């Protein structure tokens, strides 16, 4: 299937916060209560539409365990977006956000869009981290924020799509150089590089790609 | 029906509450059910899915997990105790190994995987666990393309992750073999260690299923990065790890098309290892060979990442094997092949590989492969000790084939962007560290030479500083009549030199310079104090000469070098110099008075002079950029700033000196050899010095070829010129003081017959002036060519002498770039 852009995402966060479940809910629209621990990195993809344009999302679901950290880090390279997930019923997963964020910032492109996600919002009774705390953390570090439930599918679509919208906007603003694949953005197969640039200039108006040689 | 029964029973147990004894009974019941199956159903070919075994195993696992969550951590519950005591895992391993009933292997593997990943208490230390796990590890990868590959890799990676979280447990997986082969091979007591986990992972990297293969790579990465010495040693000495990784690299390299378009090779930006490769479908194939190239590069990327994360010993060894088995055996012959298009492709590929490498250990091996280990100064026409590959590549920077020249220059440019000290030392610095490109007091007599070097190295800088300062002022007094200029002088000095500390560091330099000037005058042994004053005065003369073209030139006859330099300057600036700050220039220049030929042109006062010198190098009538809307100097400044900042960060670890050094090879030793030896060595070194003197300064083969290329700037193609200047601009950015003065200080007191970039350019300009006359309508054509080059005008009609004109334009632009680099280096230096 043809598409205009391909965005690469990574999902990161402590083990057991529901990263794989979020991905499964987004790609397959189902919930699996018992999930094997992710070994290393797994992969999923889905097509979405933004502004009338087909966009393919390629999503890397990483293992939260510390012992896999060296592997997951090498996947940070070339990601356009990151979903940083914590579990609203486990405060420790919220406390570790800073470490994750540092790790992500250090090993990825500086333009990477990061969405903070408080997952398991269906478990309101066991809530351990207030929504306001998540919002404050996001504000402080310049992230987008959302609470989701992989179980009920609440906000799951939105989380993935809003991140894509933000990336798309950055392309329009010329922040991302679409010709540089290390940004985690590829043009679709039907448009060659130069065509892509022209389309973009035509559609976006003032959006000449930012980077030069 | 049976399973239904168990479920009911299970539910009943749950209903009774978390009573421990029934849970154990339950657990035993499920286990017995499994063993009974084997007693009752011998030789059946019924698949495991059709039996109750999977269900029983699941129940057992559930019970173990339930039990663990019910009791406090750190204690094994009765079910776990039963599992450990009755060697259940060992029995399961045996059942899995025989794969009876069919599919049992997968069941056992996933049972082990679940058990290891979900039970929180440390299980591996139990002998009944790790022995069974280890045996099961050996089963993995045994059969190629076995249906259980997926479970095998899950299991292996889980084991790796477990080990990684408690690295000492790796020792349970290092099996010491009773070595029978030992005495046949060597007499040394080398215990044969079997590291089955690595071997199984290596086997699975060859899987046809790319997902399995990648997971196996992840597992290898985890094992290789274990901090345990024992495992690192076992990996290197007892597994085929290094050779297999390298063999795959070689295999993928051999699959590449014989010729690829250099542009395509360069355009392939992304080649990260991992799942990326398999997601790259046909839709992204934009040029033939892209898939093969991506596979090759992503494997190299894997090697690079592996080396970056691996235990240092593993990293080093793997890098060395890649050097010996891949680079030397495959890259070298293909780069050196006589087939031109093949050589071009291979050189490009080498450049692309080099660009990708970021682990220091692998980079070191790449550098050693390309450049060899030599670190001593080169001699002219000395081919004996040179690294053959390096020699050939440098030769190719000036090859008959323009394309080969281009790709080879590109390779060197890429090298210069890599943070490895050896690259810079081997290519350039080793020839500049003696500093015999500029005149040293050595020539006035050996004694003075020693004194000079002593003086410059001994750190009585504070005293010297004040000395030279007063000397300076004295000098100014004696020489310049107006007291105003003295004031001006010291004012600018104070204004521009904010910190005394910075000055201190420069003092030794000043002194050295002082000595040099002595030699210029030809006075050999003069009493120090007077002498200093004398030459200081002369130095200020020099400055005045250079600055004010209209001023009467004094003392010219006395100093050949001075007149030479000022001659150049006056030459270049006869027509009004487009100085950005003409009104203030005199002030700036005056402030230079005290160190007119200072090699620390990175130091404050010299910079405007240097900048102007480069900007005015191309005579005005040969310039064309002012006719355009924008001279582009600002862009050069911005670029230079960005690039220089990157460059300095990269070179931070090299501990390069701040001021130029002159290292005499025989004096590099730090220790004192004792009086007797000292005398002997001094005698020897004098002899050495004598022989040295007969040897000209040699800039080294690399700089030699680069300067040659620069000298042909008007006779070679635009592409070559762009590439050469691009290499030189990288060199000029390097924050090494010797290289800096050699390239960017036009006022350096050069040794006889020594050329620098600046002297090369002045020769080119002289040549240009004579050619200019032979091209009719020079200026109009020049402008036309410039418009063509920047695409304002299509070049349908070729212009006569256009290559010369293009060269002139490149030179003009390059001088701006160099001026910008000199300026940026100065300002960055100052702010530090």
Nearest Cα residue to A86 out of A142, A14, A20: A14
**pLDDT on residue B273:** 81
- Nearest-by-CA chain B residue for A63: B161
- Test the A interface: residue of B109, B111, B274 with most A CBs within 10 Å: B274
CB of A74 less than 8 A from some CB of B? yes
- Test the B interface: residue of A8, A37, A64 with most B CBs within 10 Å: A37
pLDDT tens for each residue of B235-260: 999 999 999 999 999 999 999 999 89
CB-CB contact of A123 with A88 (8 Å): yes
CB of A192 less than 8 A from some CB of B? yes
**pLDDT on residue B435:** 86
Distance (Å) from the alpha carbon of A122 to chain B's nearest alpha carbon = 23
Q: Is the pLDDT higher at B338 or at B508? A: B338
Helix H or strand E segment including B169 = none
At B554 the three-state DSSP class reads: coil
Chain-chain contact of B273 with A74 (C-beta, under 8 angstroms)? yes
CB-CB contact of B274 with B361 (8 Å): no
Residues of B in contact with A71 (CB under 8 A): 218, 221-222
**pLDDT on residue B177:** 77
pLDDT at B828 over 90: no
CB of B309 less than 8 A from some CB of A? yes
- Nearest-by-CA chain A residue for B160: A67
What is the number of other CB atoms lying within 10 angstroms of the CB of residue A47? 12
CA distance B825 to B601: 9
Chain-chain contact of A75 with B118 (C-beta, under 8 angstroms)? no
Q: For chain B, what percentages of helix, strand and coil (3-state, to nearest 5) are there? A: 70, 0, 30
Q: Is the pLDDT higher at B287 or at B795? A: B287
Q: Is the pLDDT higher at B67 or at A209? A: B67
Residue B802 tokens, joined: 């256009």
CB-CB contact of B461 with B505 (8 Å): yes
Q: Is the pLDDT higher at B543 or at B745? A: B745
Residues of B in contact with A65 (CB under 8 A): 161, 165
Nearest Cα residue to B173 out of B206, B204, B140, B146: B140
The low-confidence residues of chain A, meaning pLDDT below 50, are 192-213
Contacts 24+ apart (CB under 8 A), B323-330: B323/B365, B323/B366, B323/B368, B323/B369, B325/B243, B325/B246, B325/B247, B325/B250, B326/B246, B326/B249, B326/B250, B326/B253, B327/B365, B327/B366, B327/B369, B328/B369, B329/B250, B330/B250, B330/B253, B330/B254
Cis amide bond preceding A102, omega within 30:
no
Place of tokens 């390309």: B370
- Test the B interface: residue of A1, A4, A20, A39 with most B CBs within 10 Å: A39
CA distance A14 to B706: 54
**What is the average pLDDT across B698-707?**
93
pLDDT tens for each residue of B91-147: 999 999 988 888 999 999 999 999 999 898 889 999 999 999 999 999 998 888 889
CB of A195 less than 8 A from some CB of B? no
pLDDT-derived band at B488, boundaries 50, 70, 90? very low
The ipTM of this complex is 0.74
**What is the average pLDDT across B319-329?**
97
Residues of B in contact with A45 (CB under 8 A): 279
CA distance B710 to B707: 5
At B290 the three-state DSSP class reads: helix
Chain-chain contact of A41 with B117 (C-beta, under 8 angstroms)? no
- Nearest-by-CA chain A residue for B215: A40
CB of B526 less than 8 A from some CB of A? no
Which of B221, B272, B276 minimises the CB distance to A71?
B221
Give the contacts of B445 (CB within 8 A, at least 6 positions apart). Answer: B524, B525
Residues of B in contact with A63 (CB under 8 A): 161
CB of B161 less than 8 A from some CB of A? yes
CB-CB contact of B320 with B366 (8 Å): no
Chain-chain contact of B284 with A39 (C-beta, under 8 angstroms)? no
Which of B113, B162, B215 minimises the CB distance to A40?
B215
**What is the average pLDDT across B748-766?**
90
pLDDT at B557 over 80: no
- Nearest-by-CA chain B residue for A182: B270
At B565 the three-state DSSP class reads: helix
pLDDT-derived band at B641, boundaries 50, 70, 90? very high
Phi first, then psi, for residue A53 (nearest 5°) are: -110, 135
**What is the average pLDDT across B789-800?**
71
Q: Is the pLDDT higher at B212 or at B463? A: B212
Supply the mean pLDDT for chain B: 77
CB-CB contact of A13 with A90 (8 Å): no
- Eight-class DSSP state of B425: I
CA distance B373 to B317: 17
Q: At what angle do helices B360-371 and B290-309 cross, to 10 degrees?
A: 120
Total-model pTM = 0.75
Domains in chain B: boundaries:
2-234, 241-416, 447-556, 579-661+695-831
CA distance B625 to B815: 12
- Which of B 138-157 lie inside 8 A of A, CB atoms? 154, 157
**What is the average pLDDT across B550-579?**
37
What is the number of other CB atoms lying within 10 angstroms of the CB of residue B358? 14
What phi-psi label fits residue B655: left (phi over 0), alpha (psi between -120 and 50 degrees) or beta?
left
**pLDDT on residue B753:** 84
CB of B635 less than 8 A from some CB of A? no
Chain-chain contact of A192 with B286 (C-beta, under 8 angstroms)? yes
CB of A194 less than 8 A from some CB of B? no
């Amino acid at each position: 299937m043809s598409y205009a852009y391909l965005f690469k995402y990574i999902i990161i966060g402590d083990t057991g916060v529901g990263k794989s479940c979020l991905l499964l809910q987004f790609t397959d629209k189902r919930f699996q209560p018992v999930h094997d621990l992710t070994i290393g990195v797994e992969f999923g993809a889905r097509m979405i539409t933004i502004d009338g344009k087909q966009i393919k999302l390629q999503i890397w679901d990483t293992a939260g365990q510390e012992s896999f950290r060296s592997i997951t880090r090498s996947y940070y390279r070339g990601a356009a977006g990151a979903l940083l997930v914590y579990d609203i019923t486990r405060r420790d997963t919220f406390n570790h956000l800073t470490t994750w964020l540092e790790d992500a910032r250090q090993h990825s492109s500086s333009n990477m869009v990061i969405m903070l996600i408080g997952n398991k919002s269906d478990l309101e009774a066991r809530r351990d981290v207030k929504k306001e705390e998540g919002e404050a953390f996001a504000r402080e570090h310049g992230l987008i924020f959302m609470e989701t439930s992989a179980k009920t599918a609440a906000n799951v679509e939105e989380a993935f799509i809003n991140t894509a919208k933000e990336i798309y906007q950055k392309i329009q603003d010329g922040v991302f150089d679409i010709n540089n694949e290390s940004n985690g953005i590829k043009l679709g197969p039907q448009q060659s590089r130069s065509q892509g640039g022209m389309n973009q200039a035509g559609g976006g108006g003032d959006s000449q790609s930012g980077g030069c040689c | 029906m049976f399973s239904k029964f168990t479920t009911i029973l299970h539910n009943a147990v749950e209903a009774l509450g978390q009573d421990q004894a029934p849970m154990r009974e339950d657990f035993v019941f499920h286990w017995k059910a499994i063993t009974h199956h084997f007693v009752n159903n011998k030789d059946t070919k019924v698949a495991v899915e059709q039996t109750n075994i999977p269900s029983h195993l699941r129940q057992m696992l559930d019970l173990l997990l339930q039990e663990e969550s019910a009791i406090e951590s750190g204690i094994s519950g009765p079910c776990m105790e039963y599992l450990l005591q009755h060697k259940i895992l060992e029995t399961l391993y045996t059942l899995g190994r025989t794969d009876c009933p069919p599919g049992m292997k997968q069941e056992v593997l996933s049972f082990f995987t679940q058990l290891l990943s979900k039970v929180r208490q440390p299980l591996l230390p139990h002998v009944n666990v790790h022995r069974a796990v280890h045996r099961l590890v050996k089963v993995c990868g045994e059969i190629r393309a076995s249906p259980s590959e997926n479970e095998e890799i899950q299991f292996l990676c889980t084991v790796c992750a477990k080990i990684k979280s408690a690295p000492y447990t790796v020792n349970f997986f290092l099996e010491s073999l009773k070595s029978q082969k030992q005495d046949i091979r060597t007499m040394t007591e080398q215990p044969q260690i079997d590291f089955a986990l690595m071997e199984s992972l290596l086997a699975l990297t060859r899987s046809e299923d790319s997902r399995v293969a990648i997971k196996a790579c992840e597992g290898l990465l985890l094992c290789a990065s274990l901090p345990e010495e024992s495992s690192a040693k076992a990996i290197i000495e007892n597994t085929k790890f290094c050779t297999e990784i390298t063999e795959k690299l070689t295999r993928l390299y051999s699959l590449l098309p014989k010729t690829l378009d250099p542009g395509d090779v360069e355009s392939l930006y992304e080649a990260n290892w991992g799942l990326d490769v398999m997601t790259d479908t046909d839709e992204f194939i934009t040029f033939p060979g892209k898939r093969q190239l991506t596979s090759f590069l992503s494997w190299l990327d894997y090697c690079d990442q592996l080396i970056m994360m691996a235990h240092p010993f593993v990293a080093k060894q793997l890098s060395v094997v890649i050097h010996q088995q891949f680079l030397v055996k495959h890259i070298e012959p293909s780069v050196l092949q006589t087939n031109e298009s093949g050589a071009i492709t291979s050189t490009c590929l080498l450049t692309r590989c080099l660009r990708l490498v970021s682990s220091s250990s692998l980079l070191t091996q790449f550098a050693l492969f390309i450049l060899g280990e030599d670190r001593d100064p080169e001699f002219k026409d000395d081919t004996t000790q040179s690294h053959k590959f390096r020699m050939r590549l440098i030769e190719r920077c000036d090859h008959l084939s323009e394309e080969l020249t281009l790709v080879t220059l590109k390779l060197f440019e890429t090298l210069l962007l890599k943070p490895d000290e050896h690259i810079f030392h081997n290519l350039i610095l080793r020839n500049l560290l003696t500093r015999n490109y500029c005149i040293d007091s050595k020539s006035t007599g050996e004694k003075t030479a020693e004194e000079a070097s002593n003086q410059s190295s001994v750190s009585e800088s504070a005293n010297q500083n004040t000395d030279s300062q007063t000397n300076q002022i004295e000098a100014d007094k004696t020489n310049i009549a107006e007291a105003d200029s003295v004031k001006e002088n010291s004012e600018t000095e104070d204004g521009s030199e904010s910190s005394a500390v910075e000055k201190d560091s420069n003092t030794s330099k000043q002194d050295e310079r002082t000595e040099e000037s002595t030699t210029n005058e030809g006075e050999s042994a003069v009493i120090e104090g007077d002498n200093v004053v004398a030459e200081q005065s002369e130095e200020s003369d020099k400055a005045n000469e250079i600055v004010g073209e209209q001023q009467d030139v004094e003392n010219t006859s006395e100093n050949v070098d001075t007149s030479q330099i000022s001659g150049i300057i006056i030459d270049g600036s006869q027509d009004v110099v487009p100085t950005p700050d003409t009104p203030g220039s005199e002030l700036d220049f005056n402030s230079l008075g005290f160190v007119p030929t200072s090699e620390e042109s990175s130091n404050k006062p010299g910079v405007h002079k240097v900048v102007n010198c480069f900007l005015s190098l191309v005579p005005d009538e040969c310039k064309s950029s002012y006719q355009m809307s924008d001279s582009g100097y600002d862009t050069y400044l911005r670029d230079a700033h960005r690039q220089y900042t990157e460059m300095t960060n990269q070179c931070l670890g090299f501990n390069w000196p701040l001021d130029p050094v002159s290292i005499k090879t025989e004096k590099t030793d730090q220790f004192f050899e004792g009086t007797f030896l000292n005398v002997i060595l001094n005698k020897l070194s004098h002899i050495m010095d004598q022989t040295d003197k007969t040897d000209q300064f040699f800039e080294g083969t690399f700089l030699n070829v680069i300067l040659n290329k620069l000298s042909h700037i008007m006779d070679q193609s635009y592409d070559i010129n762009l590439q050469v200047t691009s290499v030189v601009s990288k060199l000029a950015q390097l924050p090494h003081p010797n290289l800096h003065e050699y390239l960017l200080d036009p006022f350096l007191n050069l040794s006889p017959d020594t050329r620098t970039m600046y002297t090369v350019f002045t020769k080119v300009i002289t040549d240009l002036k004579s050619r200019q006359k032979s091209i009719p309508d020079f200026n109009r054509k020049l402008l036309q060519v410039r418009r063509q080059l920047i695409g304002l005008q299509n070049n349908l009609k070729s212009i006569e002498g256009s290559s010369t004109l293009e060269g002139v334009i490149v030179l003009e632009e390059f001088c701006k770039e160099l001026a910008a680099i000199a300026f940026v280096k100065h300002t960055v230096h100052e702010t530090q």
